[in-house]
A and B are shown apart, each in its own frame.
Chain A
Amino acid sequence: MRNLPVWIIAALLMVAGGLLCAYKVNVLGLPLLPSTDAAVWTVEARAAFRARGGPVKATLLIPREPPGFERLDENYISNGFGVSQEVSGQNRAALWAVRRASGIQAVYYRLTVFETQTGNTTHNDPFPGYPRVPDYGESTQAAVNALLNEVRSESADIATFARALIARMNREGANPSVDSLRTGGDSPGAWAQWLVDVLAGARIPARVIWGLPLVDGTRDATLVPYIEVHNEQRWIPMSPETGVVGLPDDFLVWRIGNDPLLAVDGGAQPDVRFSVTRSQRQIVSIARDRAKLHGSLMLDYSLFSLPVQTQNVYRVLLTVPLGAFLVVLLRNVVGVKTFGTFMPILIALAFRETKLLWGIVLFSLIVALGLGLRFALERLKLLLVPRLASVLIIVILLMLFVSLVSHHLGMNRGLSIALFPMVILAMTIERMSLVWEEHGAWEAILQGGGSLLVAAAGFLIMSNQTLTHLVFVFPELLLVLLGGCLILGRYTGYRLSEFWRFRAVLTGKDP
């Protein structure tokens, strides 16, 4: 099997490229499609307290894995404090410690998160077990039982039960016995805890969670309580006011449970304020930061680590292989005739600026004018190199002329003709005139048209948003393309054009 090595190498290249790409999609979260930006939130918690002058230890609870969000970055900012971080129950905690401090002290914790569609949207911790029925006291006990019985008859499962219960608890004047229970909380936090306690009466595990509504530009915000009910599979968040299931939009769960948000040893008057800012960032750059957090080298050596200017150069360069592959397909499988192998690709690159219609118009215009002048030059019997140089100069003059005329006519697209590869144009004109003379006008126009067709197709491929995004974010896909080229390099089948060439065989018609 003569082609075996080619197939093996091509398969290896394709698998390597595919795997690398899959890794970047699945692990690093790089997007396969050129998607829009994602919202990135920066939350700053200012933890302030009054130090007593001795050693101080401040513990601030911070989010662990907030549902619907993914952490991009976090910073601890303080003046003279030592900082550490630990897991504390369901939360994480940031610890600031200092030997000696007095007066008002402030430490800052800054967190950057972005909304993810892929991560968990709810807490998925295991079932905590059924809670003990709390001791409500005699009179309350009766009211709770009456309420629970009433709700139980109207509900199907834990979620609907909890929801109905919360709704009923929040409705005023429905039932005198329930009204007596409504006095159970005087602050939102206490009210949420009271709901949890009542739910425990029905042996439903519930807990209070505290979150921050993310509103751009918020300052001095505080955490808002919410409750979660476990339905033996997962925690279901519910509003303590309405019983509506689910977290509100842009709600960052900060801590779980009622442990104090800020605990200060050696200080007093703990106070935590939040400020929130929102920004837009490309998903790609988010993925880069995330990879840094995960410690992946992959993105350190990606195109994103290059200066932006160089990145932009590669943004264009990396589309060239797409065009080259197209040329391979069109020439070896379809059999289109072109002037020069990759000339159409260079023309297609120029089309990026002029856009397709104008590109074709300008290209045809320059080539047609150049060809006319080239035939005039033919009479002068010039030597090859001086003639080529003359054609080149004529091409540049024509470009200048077209630019000037189109500018005066107010057609700004005509100006972008300056980006046409003039040497390529000159060579095209020269070769076209030779083909014209030797093989006739038809052959010359056929090849010129073929070149233009390939250039147009190349432009469409090379300016396709999805494809350009793919090769830029996943340059390893070029390995797949390389593998494809290797396989086509041993393609020995017929070109589509050969069906026409050998039509006499196909139809079997003799003259």
Chain B
Amino acid sequence: MRWPGTILREAGILSMNQRNADFIMLNNARRLYPLVDDKLKTKELAKRAGIAVPALYGVIRTEHAINELDALLGEHKSFVVKPAHGSGGNGILVITDRRQGRFVKASGSMISRDELGHHISNILSGMFSLGGMPDQAMIEYCVQFDPIFEDVAFQGVPDIRTIVFRGVPVASMVRLPTRASDGKANLHQGAVGAGIDMASGQTQSGVCQNARVSTHPDTGAALAGIGIPGWETLLLLAARCYDLAALGYLGVDVVLDREFGPLVLELNARPGLSIQLANRRGLLPALKAIEGMESIPTAADERVALGLDLLAGSATS
């Protein structure tokens, strides 16, 4: 029996300690964190750079403003409430419809207006934000997700997470909500992650609760073989996010909207490690190769090409 660490090292698996010490600390300047931790700021930056994001309906900053929720929502039937400083998908409430003054959650259960108000109030008081600081509640467009993932997602919004290292996309996965994850696309809350072949944009089998799966646990549909439309545009979009905030080690979450195409949902300065399990591929070889490069192209499309070359090279060797 070999030492497990050796096996993981040979598989190129990036560990939590190494991610923090060698990649996040060295490549992500602390002062840039507010740009991605505050989703309002991220949205503003993205809009300015011409990167597509879900439309912002409004921001609730004070308890008092909760009373004006109805005016703010206007005619929108579906929307998402999220804390501007939330982390790990906590505090995100997806409302898909409104019926008789009540709101329908992504899971199908109903909540009253008071409960919605209480949730927003919790967001404002900092219950979901990092460090418990008082926060703001964002109300934005609820993505009408592209039916392409319909069979492999249980409610909620599936998104595509791409790890971008120094502007070069190195790995992607689709994050598919499950019953257990309550419509959220976070792997540690029980969502399924399906790897994506970087060259073709085809999904592969995936991971759920750190175990390998080939079908969605709720719908039973096969995870592999779904071609993502506009894959090259999506990679380019992810690569361009590096120019928004010069975070060297970045997770870009993109959703595919029926109408608007790929939209950047949020950026993450501490993306998780499960993407390695979803792709059955360790991140280390690609990260080390890019780290060793003296210069990285400035144009986003060249960086995408560099990433694809790198992965093609390591796949054949």
Contact = CB atoms under 8 A, between A and B. Distances in A.
A46 to B, nearest CB: 71
Contacts of B132: 384
A408 interface: no
Interface in B112-134: 114-115, 118, 121-122, 125-127, 132
B17 A492 contact: yes
B118 A381 contact: yes
Contacts of A501: 210, 273
Interface in B168-189: 188-189
B211 A499 contact: no
A375 interface: no
Nearest to B19: A492
A409 interface: no
A491 B16 CA distance: 10
B15 A493 contact: yes
B176 to A, nearest CB: 15
B212 interface: yes
B210 A383 contact: no
Interface string A332-354: 10010000000000000000000
A281 interface: no
B8 A505 contact: yes
B213 interface: yes
A54 to B, nearest CB: 85
A505 B16 contact: no
Contacts of B90: 438
Nearest to A510: B212
A506 B8 contact: yes
Contacts of B292: none
B213 A511 contact: yes
Contacts of A490: 21
A511 B210 CA distance: 12
Contact of A504 (B4, B16, B118, B212): B212
Given A383-B125, A504-B211, A493 B114 contact: no
B269 interface: no
Contacts of A491: 17, 21
Contact of B4 (A332, A439, A506): A506
A492 B210 contact: no
A273 B69 CA distance: 99
Nearest to B134: A384
B256 interface: no
A407 interface: no
Contacts of B121: 383
B244 interface: no
Contacts of B122: 383-384
A334 to B, nearest CB: 12
Given A384-B122, A438-B90, A493-B17, A503 B210 contact: yes
B28 interface: no
Nearest to B22: A492
B107 interface: no
A356 B205 CA distance: 48
A489 B127 CA distance: 30
Interface residues of A, number: 29
Interface in A474-511: 489-495, 498-506, 509-511
Contacts of A502: 8, 13, 210, 276-277
A381 B282 CA distance: 44
Nearest to A381: B118
Nearest to A384: B125
Contacts of B313: none
Contacts of A438: 90, 189
A490 B18 CA distance: 8
A511 B223 CA distance: 12
A87 to B, nearest CB: 63
B134 to A, nearest CB: 9
Contacts of B188: 439
Given A434-B127, A492-B17, A498-B15, A381 B114 contact: yes
A503 B13 CA distance: 11
A505 B115 contact: no
Interface string A143-163: 000000000000000000000
A385 interface: yes
Interface in B129-158: 132
A499 B125 contact: no
B3 to A, nearest CB: 9
A492 to B, nearest CB: 4
B212 A511 contact: yes
Given A495-B17, A498-B16, A499-B4, A504 B22 contact: no
Interface of B: 4-5, 7-9, 11, 13, 15-18, 21-22, 26, 63, 90, 114-115, 118, 121-122, 125-127, 132, 188-189, 205, 207, 210-214, 273, 276-277, 280, 282
26 contacts: A381-B114, A381-B115, A383-B122, A384-B122, A384-B127, A384-B132, A434-B127, A438-B90, A439-B189, A491-B17, A492-B22, A493-B17, A494-B5, A494-B17, A495-B15, A498-B15, A499-B5, A499-B8, A501-B210, A503-B210, A504-B207, A504-B212, A505-B7, A505-B277, A505-B280, A505-B282
The 7 closest A-B pairs by CB, nearest first: A384-B125, A492-B18, A381-B118, A499-B4, A494-B15, A504-B212, A511-B214
Given A492-B17, A504-B207, 8 more contacts: A332-B17, A384-B125, A439-B188, A494-B13, A502-B8, A504-B210, A504-B277, A510-B205
